[in-house]
Structure 1
Amino acid sequence: MKTSEPSPKLDIEHAFVSDDPRRWSNARKWGIVALISAASMIAGLNSNIYNPAISQIEAELHASDGEISLSLSIFIIIQGGFPLIWSAISEIQGRKIVYLVSIAICTVGCTVAATSRSIGVLIGSRCLQAAGSSAVVAIGAATLADIYEPHERGTMMGIYYCAPLLGPSLGPIIGGVLTQVFDWRATFWFLVIFTGLCCLSFLMFKDTFRRERSLSYQAAVRRVLEHQAAQQAAQRSETSSMTHVAGVLGTPGSVTPQDISEVQSDKLSGKVTPEGEKTVADADVEAQAPEMKRAPSSIPDVKLSLKDVNPVGPLIHVLRRLNNIAILTASGLLYAFGYSILYTCSRTLANEYGYDALKIGLVLLAYGAGSLVGSIVGGRYSDHVFRQLKAKNGGISRPEMRLESTLPGMLFLPGAVAAYGWICEEHVTVAAICVMLFLSGFFSIYIYSSTLAYIVDANVGRSSSAVATNSCFRGITAFIAAEIAIPLLDSIGDGGLYSLWAGLTVIAELLIVLVWWKGAAWREVAEAREKRQNASRR
């Protein structure tokens, strides 16, 4: 009797899918990168474009400093937290619908802001803008994970992340020009046009999401199946005698909830094929099974709706891992530093150097330029190191390998940060400020691009949830940085503030080194724990 050869074991990252996005042409992939990169500028533009017009807004809408500060702070916190909801929806309904709905909400928010007649309405519209603009950065990184292999992601993340970095740099310049030529409402009408064009562009977007590669989707299917099994068993128990329990597996129509749950779970995880043959795949999808064998047909055809979206579950799974907590904290500190330096530099240039909004925007371009170069260089070097270490390790890779590429940047970042602060403190020429802004942007984003790629690589099957959790950490740390920056600046000056930030960047670097050293062991412990927990439920 002829036996068929066993198919190769595959992790969920490489589960069989129809129309595999990773096999699409380079032209189509680059088109997707260009589209999501353009859309990712929405977040940065929304948060910064109306800063030059704050004085006009205060005068026309009779707003207080506290109300203006609230409009800035609430935008940061909502923009940081809302990606958790968008990512959960994208793991059930796909990426395209999230892009379309979120950008449409942002467009509505911009329209309301442009026509607002009171500060209360403006603050409310800013909430809509924050919620709508928050999706693209998180879902964009997940989209790149959908279409690129791990060894390509560092480079593509670096290229993609250039666009969000342009927003904070170009926003004040565009806002300053529009405010001087027209008025503050023109900044929001500009955003209406930009977001509207992005939304229309996504109508042609081909969804990259594949349910076979999503642990969150499969976990949702499992919950639905188990719920259906329990309902069916309860209905049958009313008309069937319990004396048939002994023959439950062989008697159609007499099944216990546990039996149905086990059979459906086996089918979902790939243990049972359509012919009923068992595979060597791991039984539990919710655990990070590294060797999961699955064809597209192995997932039951269950219709999921928004009521099956659970943003809390994926968040908890991400935060249960020590490597995730450490790298997310480091990522949050690096992002908060960038937010702080742009915020306080604007004030320093205005108060100490007498610069207007347009000149301030031009100086801040130095930070944006450094960030762009750092993102590209850091991403490419990250992939280079990853491929090199993988080859040395016999073709076996670990996500932590790419973190070794951050070491050169770690040597210079704290010094550049401290030097910027004391140059401002001593009122040195603006040219020196531009140089230190460039270096600070370069080294911080050089490191950050690798941490972002690591977050995606280390959370196979939950990439969008992991990136959304990263956005949440960034939002919280940026909110705190925005609230304490000016009081600290007034009390200890630029020199003291950025000496403090130099110390915080050292802490971030130590956390990254810790993950580089211990991250693989932490992940293995977490995976084993998840498997045990899910086995105990069954």
Structure 2
Amino acid sequence: MASFDEKIPDVPQPSTASTKESVKSPVIPDTFPKDEINTIPPDPEPANRAENSLPPIPVPLLKRRGLLAQATLIPEVENARAYSRPIKWILTWILSISTLIAPIGTSIFYPALHQVETDLHTTDTITNLSLAFYLLAMAIFPFWWANWAAAFGRRNVYLLSFSLGVVFAVLAAISKSIGMLIAMRLLSGGCSASVQAVGVATMTDLWEPHERGRAMGIFFLGPQLGPFLAPIIGGALADRWGWRSTMWFMVIIAAAMLMVLLLGLPETSSRQEKSWWRQTQDRLGDRNSISKFLIAARILILDPFASLYVLRYPVMLLPMLYLGIFTVFFYVLNISMEQTFAAPPYNFSTLIIGLCYIPSSLGYIVGSLIGGRWMDYVMLRSARKANRFDENGKPIVFPEDRVQENAILGGLIPVASLIWYGWSIQYKVFWLVPLIANFFTGFGIVVIVSMNITMLTEFLPGDVRPLSCSVLARNGLGCVGTVIGAPMLNSTLQNGWTFTIWAVVALACLPIIFILGVFGPRWRQSMPNQRPNT
């Protein structure tokens, strides 16, 4: 039997018609809205597939794309998938580390919430808004970042967003009122979302589909290390120097990540794509200057929200709904830990509360390392079981092949562990008991999240819209979780019934997995801009 560590052969990419015809001319139904067709980027994959076996061809120094592109230690190449595997892993780890900024910005604040309430003379509900608006910005800004990355390049978006993030983190650290803090946190959250929105596209630039599951597992390791490290760091800093020290730490880490991106990450998008400016010029035509300015502004500011069109397709909507539900109870769980362990009989200090987040974060890390390989394994196994091979004997894979027993177990484990946590902490059981439950919750969450996001990118390869909408689903509903968490926990529901309710909701969403398995192939084939899984 195949194992997770089995060497996976090069996998040809399937199409719903003959491969050559579907690659050259994607089929777009007449019913597909004209405005939405304009948002679809050209398919760079035929060139990529032809060149993947060739050695990397460095781009001349003065022709490299992006801000300060000549400063990168890793040169830009004609086709990013031609990079050697060590270089690909270096770039993957750079992206993974860069994603730390968003979850650290959220989680570092949890142990210091009570200090903010006292220092800025506010309530716990208002203080939680600084978290909620941070997540709200992380939900909305990716629509702009993803489209601006397609227009101006991935590297430009990374450098611009992190530069602004440093500025807003400084302003948050010197805030004199809760209103200023919430506003600066909102802007900081928006800047931190760039890697979440654009990073998956860079991963697609670098990795073939049959390798992507493992690579995505490493990519998602960064977002999971954030909740692991941030509460510990935040608890230690707040306990020693107060809550403002957590914001100054954000300044330092954002500046450090900015330097890593500046020196280590070249532009990876396809050089064969028609430039955004040329596409825009075609749309503007011979209009006067004012009309051109207004239309260009609309294209940059309003048109990105046309990404929401993809939510009308079941293979997009259902996985995003599942992602969102898991994100809601993730944030309710974090708020519960901060409130409950600070109260009797536990009475933990700020530092110790930070340490209490370690088990759930270990679950995230284990889930990231195992879940990626698990995805690749079940995908390859499904192709072999269905006897899908090309003329060279290589297996042919589809996105829905990733949804197997990994999805079922990833969905069921948090159902049990949420009930375990809720009632054990309701009855003030020894602190280790609920924390062990959180390990399993973290494991299940990351298996589901990484599987769904990887699959979403493959239903519409090369299209930025699923990435934007997936971030909206996670962070938008995460914002809901931070708003409703404290009221639910402080009501008669308390911990026991609050997490029982969320366990039932998670269980009710489990049929989504079976629905995707049954109807996924049909829905995928009926989607517009149907391309090979590349």
1:433-458, Cα deviation, whole Å (9 max, x unpaired): 12111111112212221111101111
Query: Quick one: distance in 2 between partners of 1:135 and 1:161?
Result: 14
Alignment of 1:520 with 2:515, yes or no, is no
Aligned residue type for 2:282? L
The structure in which a higher percent of residues are helix is 1
2:105 maps to which of 46, 49, 58: 46
Query: Quick one: distance in 1 between partners of 2:151 and 2:465?
Result: 12
The residue number in structure 2 matching 1:379 is 372
1:63 maps to which of 114, 122, 128: 122
Shift of 1:465: 2.5
Query: Quick one: distance in 2 between partners of 1:313 and 1:48?
Result: 28
Aligned residue type for 2:352? K
Shift of 1:421: 1.5
Alignment of 1:15 with 2:46, yes or no, is yes
Q: Kindly indicate whether the alpha-carbon contact (under 8 Å) linking 2:235 and 2:352 is maintained by their aligned counterparts in 1.
A: no
Which consecutive unaligned segments of at least 5 residues does structure 1 have?
Answer: 1-6, 233-303, 532-538
Which range moved further: 55-64 or 117-126? 55-64
Aligned residue type for 1:412? I
Aligned residue type for 1:325? L
Which consecutive unaligned segments of at least 5 residues does structure 2 have?
Answer: 1-18, 25-42, 49-76, 289-294, 390-394
Q: Kindly indicate whether the alpha-carbon contact (under 8 Å) linking 2:130 and 2:185 is maintained by their aligned counterparts in 1.
A: yes
The residue number in structure 2 matching 1:315 is 307
Query: Quick one: distance in 1 between partners of 2:124 and 2:499?
Result: 25
Query: Quick one: distance in 2 between partners of 1:195 and 1:431?
Result: 34
Equivalent residue of 1:351, what SS? Answer: coil
Query: Quick one: distance in 1 between partners of 2:116 and 2:488?
Result: 26
Query: Quick one: distance in 1 between partners of 2:403 and 2:186?
Result: 36
Gap change, CA 1:63 and 1:413, over 3 Å in 2: closer
Aligned residue type for 2:428? H
Query: Quick one: distance in 2 between partners of 1:58 and 1:482?
Result: 16
Query: Quick one: distance in 2 between partners of 1:60 and 1:101?
Result: 32
Shift of 1:416: 2.0
The residue number in structure 1 matching 2:439 is 438
1:225 maps to which of 278, 282, 304: 282
The residue number in structure 2 matching 1:487 is 487
Equivalent residue of 1:350, what SS? Answer: coil
Which range moved further: 75-84 or 12-21? 12-21
Alignment of 1:183 with 2:178, yes or no, is no
The residue number in structure 1 matching 2:472 is 472
The residue number in structure 1 matching 2:30 is none
How does 1:51-450 map onto structure 2 within 5 Å? 51-204=110-263, 205-210=265-270, 212=272, 222=279, 224-228=281-285, 308-309=299-300, 311-312=303-304, 314-352=306-344, 353-391=346-384, 392-394=387-389, 395-404=395-404, 405-450=406-451
Equivalent residue of 1:15, what SS? Answer: helix
Query: Quick one: distance in 2 between partners of 1:64 and 1:190?
Result: 24
Query: Quick one: distance in 2 between partners of 1:160 and 1:24?
Result: 17
Shift of 1:147: 0.5
TM-score, normalising length: structure 2: 0.78
Gap change, CA 1:184 and 1:231, over 3 Å in 2: closer
Equivalent residue of 1:427, what SS? Answer: coil
The residue number in structure 2 matching 1:257 is none
Identity, % of aligned positions: 28
Greater Rg over alpha carbons, structure: 1
Aligned residue type for 1:393? R
1:454-509, Cα deviation, whole Å (9 max, x unpaired): 011112121x3312211111122112222222222222122211111111112332
Aligned residue type for 1:466? P
Q: Kindly indicate whether the alpha-carbon contact (under 8 Å) linking 1:321 and 1:523 is maintained by their aligned counterparts in 2.
A: no
How does 1:454-465 map onto structure 2 within 5 Å? 454-462=455-463, 464-465=464-465
1:187-235, Cα deviation, whole Å (9 max, x unpaired): 1111111111111121122111126469xx77x855532442x659xxx
Aligned residue pair count: 449
Gap change, CA 1:425 and 1:184, over 3 Å in 2: closer
Q: Kindly indicate whether the alpha-carbon contact (under 8 Å) linking 1:213 and 1:461 is maintained by their aligned counterparts in 2.
A: no
Query: RMSD between aligned alpha carbons?
Result: 2.6
Query: Quick one: distance in 1 between partners of 2:20 and 2:129?
Result: 56
1:129-170, Cα deviation, whole Å (9 max, x unpaired): 111111111211111111001111111111111111121232
Query: Quick one: distance in 2 between partners of 1:62 and 1:368?
Result: 32
Query: Quick one: distance in 2 between partners of 1:306 and 1:379?
Result: 39
Equivalent residue of 2:397, what SS? Answer: coil
